[in-house]
């Protein structure tokens, strides 16, 4: 015998949208913890700095709170399609992409693609830099899409993540 359906019908796009809005309102009313799922996009040379950001997010005394869905290690593959599928799935599970920008970021073959993919999926995007000013060269997508760029300041970053999460 075939695997018959349950006899019901699928949701229309309008019904699905209404259900999504009700769920969002319910989460806000229930005292949501404020944590959102983020994907961190960065040049592989910046892994040490990104691990510090991850540690800050786990610290109870930190203003930064998020669940990190980014890659801990690069995909072990030379097949671009396989890598893109894996990254795409991680981005899909998030509401915001944080782009760690340094002098090396503009040269990364993946960061610009990850920003564009995040925006195409309707995710919020915020770029963050260490030090007093952003690097002279930023990924093209940061400039093209006018991605907000903030310094690595816990309060400022937490505010930017929250804003991008709400504005998506």
Q: pLDDT of 13-67, one tens digit each?
A: 887 777 777 666 655 554 444 578 889 999 989 999 998 988 888 877 766 667 7
120-147 CB burial, b ≥16 within 10 A, e <16 = eeebbbbbbbeeeebbeebbebbeeeeb
> How many structural domains are present in the chain?
1
Domain holding 79, by residue range, is 37-166
Q: Model confidence over 104-114: pLDDT tens digits? A: 999 998 999 99
Give the number of other CB atoms < 10 A from CB of residue 63. Answer: 15
Does residue 21 belong to any structural domain of this protein? no
Does residue 118 belong to any structural domain of this protein? yes
Report the pLDDT averaged over residues 116-125. Answer: 97
- Prediction pTM value: 0.74
Does residue 10 belong to any structural domain of this protein? no
**CB 136, CB 107: distance < 8 Å:** no
Does residue 30 belong to any structural domain of this protein? no
Q: What is the CATH number of the domain that holds 107?
A: 3.40.50.300
């Amino acid at each position: 015998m075939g695997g018959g359906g349950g006899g019901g019908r699928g949701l229309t796009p309008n019904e699905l949208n209404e259900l999504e809005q009700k769920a969002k309102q319910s989460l806000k009313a229930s005292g949501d913890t404020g944590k959102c799922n983020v994907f961190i996009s960065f040049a592989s040379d910046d892994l040490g700095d990104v691990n510090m950001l991850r540690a800050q997010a786990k610290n109870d005394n930190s203003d930064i709170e998020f669940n990190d869905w980014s890659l801990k290690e690069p995909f072990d593959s030379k097949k671009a399609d396989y890598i893109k599928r894996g990254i795409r799935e991680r981005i899909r599970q998030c509401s915001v992409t944080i782009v760690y920008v340094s002098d090396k970021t503009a040269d990364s073959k993946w960061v610009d693609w990850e920003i564009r993919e995040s925006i195409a999926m309707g995710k919020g995007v915020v770029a963050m830099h260490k030090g007093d000013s952003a690097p002279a060269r930023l990924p093209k997508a940061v400039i093209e899409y006018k991605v907000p760029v903030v310094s690595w300041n816990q309060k400022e970053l937490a505010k930017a993540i929250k804003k991008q999460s709400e504005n998506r």
